[in-house]
Amino acid sequence: MTDIASSIQRMAGKRLVVTICASLIAFMAYSSVYAYRKPFTVATFEGIRYWDISYQTLLIISQVIGYMLSKFAGIKFIAELKSLGRFRTGIILTGTAWFCLLGFGLVPEPWGMLFMFINGFLLGFMWGVIFSYLEGRRATDLMGAVLAVSFIFAGGFTRSVAKWLMVEWDVSEKWMPFFTGLVFLIPLLIFLFLLEKIPPPDETDKKERTARIPMNAESRKLFLKTFGIGLVIVSITYLFLTVMRDIRDNYMANIWNELGYGTDYSIFTKTETNTCLLVLLTMGLLVLIRKNIRALAMVHIVIAAGFLIAGISSLLFITGQMDGAVWMQLASLGLYMGYIPFNCIFFERLIASFRIAGNVGFLIYFADAFGYLGSVTVMLIKEFARLRLNWSEFYSHGVVIGSLLGLAGTIFSLIYFTRRYRVANLK
C-alpha cells in the first residue's frame, strides 16, 4: 500500500510539473509572438493621412483584415492541423511576419498597409498552433487560462518595449515594429522549441476530456448540424467581446493619451499586469470543477459577470462618476473575463461535455472569424461615417452597448447548452 501511495504521489507530482512548465512555456511563446503583431500601434503617425483617414487607422484596419481572413482560413487549417510539423509551421509563420515588418520599415507610405495585411494573416494562425499543444488535458483550463492571459500581459509589455525603443533609443515609428521583433527573436525560437517537448495527453486525460483529433469537412458539418444554433449565438456574443477588446487593444495608446498618460510608457505594463493576474485567478479556479457540464455553466456565469463589470464601469465613466484610469482597469477586467474563456475554457469544456470527436481549434477559429469581421466593420463605420468621437468616448459608449447585447447572448447560450445536455441525457 505504501508503494502504491508513493507511486500515485510521484505521478501527481509529475503531472503538476508538466502543467506548470507547459503553462509557462505557452505563455512565453505567445507573448513573444505578440511582439510581431501589436507594438506598431504605439506609433500614431501624427499628421499622416490618406483618403482622409489617419495612416495609423489604415495600418490597423489592414492588419485586422488580414487577421480576420486567417481566422476564416483557420476554420479548415487549424481544424485539420496534425501534431507533426507544428514547430516548423510556427517558425515559418512568425519568421515571415517579422520580415513583413522589415518591409514595412523600408517602403514609403502608404505601402506599409500591404505588409501589415500579410503580417496579420500569418500571425492569425499562431493561437491555434500554440493551443493545440495544451488541449484535451485535465489541466487544460489552467494551462489555457495562463496562455490566454498572455495577450493581456504581452499587449502591455511589448508596447512598453516598443515605446522604450522610441523614447530611449530614438527608434523611428516606421522601424520600431521591426526592432521590437528583433528584441523578442531569441525568446521566440526558444519557447517554440520547448513547446515540442511538452508530453502529449495521457490516457486519463483522454478518458476525462476525450481524445483530440483533426476534424475533416464531414465532421465539421456534423457539428454545425448538431449545435449550429448554439454556436451562432456564442459567435455573436463573442463578436461584441472581440470588437471592444480589439478597439481597446489597437487604440490603447490613443485612449491613454486622451486620459492624460501619453508620456508614461510603463502604464501599459502596470495596468495590463493587474488585469492579467485577476483574470488568471478567476480562470484558474475553474480547473477545480471536474464535471464538465457544471464547469461549462460556471464559465457562462463568469462571462456574464464580465459583461456587467465592463458595462457598469463604462456607464459610470461616461456620466463622470469614475476616474479614467480606474475605468480602463475595470473595463479591461470585465472584457477579458468574457473574452478569455472563449479562447481556452469554453470550447474545451463544450467538447468534453458532449464527448465530441474533434478539437478546440475549429470552434475557436469559427467564432474568431466572425468576431474579427465585426471588429473590421466597426472600425470602417467609424472612419467612413465620420463619427465625431474621440477613441475614449467611442470605446466607452461601445462597451455599454456591447455589454447589454453580450449579456443577453450569454444567458441564451447557457439555456441552450443546458437543455441540449439534458436532452442528450449525458450524466
Q: What is the pLDDT of residues 157-216, one digit of tens each?
A: 888 899 899 988 989 999 999 999 999 999 999 999 999 999 988 888 888 888 888 888
Taking residues 214-219, report their average pLDDT. 86
Q: What is the mean pLDDT of residues 104-133?
A: 94
Could you give the CA distance from residue 90 to residue 33 in angstroms, rounded to a whole number?
10
Mean pLDDT rounded to a whole number for the chain: 85
Residue 55 has pLDDT above 60, yes or no: yes
pLDDT category of residue 93 using cuts at 50, 70 and 90? very high
Residue ranges and CATH numbers for the domains of the chain are 19-198+208-424 (1.20.1250.20)
| CA dihedral (286, 190, 85, 38) positive or negative | positive
| Per-residue pLDDT at 247 | 78
According to the model, what pLDDT value does residue 57 have? 84
Contact call for residues 65 and 376 (beta carbons, < 8 A): yes
Among 259, 351, 341, smallest CA distance to 298 is for: 341
Q: What is the CB-side half-sphere exposure of residue 181 using CA atoms within 13 A? A: 24
Choose between 167 and 275: higher pLDDT: 167
Per the structure block, which three cell numbers stand in for 398? 461601445
Mean pLDDT of the 96-121 span: 95
Which one-letter amino acid corresponds to residue 28? M
Q: What's the confidence (pLDDT) of residue 123?
A: 95
Q: CA–CA separation, 247 vs 277, rounded Å?
A: 22
pLDDT at 344 over 80: no
* Percent of the chain residues past pLDDT 70, beyond the cut: 92
Percent of the chain exceeding pLDDT 90 equals: 36
Mean pLDDT of 383-408: 83
The CA-CA-CA angle for residues 88, 60, 164, to 5°, reads 80
Residue that the C-alpha cell 475549429 belongs to: 362
16-48 pLDDT, tens digit each: 888 899 999 999 999 999 999 988 888 878 888
91-100, 167-176, 277-286, 307-316: the lowest-pLDDT one: 277-286
- For the ranges 228-237, 243-252, 354-363, the one whose mean pLDDT is highest: 228-237
Report which of 346, 371, 339 is spatially closest to residue 360, judged by C-alpha positions: 346
Whether 253 contacts 41, CB under 8 Å: yes
Residue 343 pLDDT level (bands cut at 50, 70, 90): confident
Residue 387: pLDDT band with limits 50, 70, 90: low
Has residue 328 got a pLDDT over 60?
yes
288 vs 265 pLDDT, higher one: 288
Answer positive or negative: Cα dihedral of 253, 259, 262, 263: negative
What is the reported pLDDT for 96?
A: 97
> If you average pLDDT over residues 316-334, what whole number do you get?
87
CB under 8 Å to 232, separation ≥6 — which residues?
A: none
Q: Tell me if 243 sits within 8 A of 380, measured CB to CB.
A: no
Question: What pLDDT does 254 receive?
Answer: 77
pLDDT confidence of residue 425: 64
pLDDT at residue 352 is higher than 90: no
Per-residue pLDDT at 80: 86
More confident residue, 377 or 93: 93
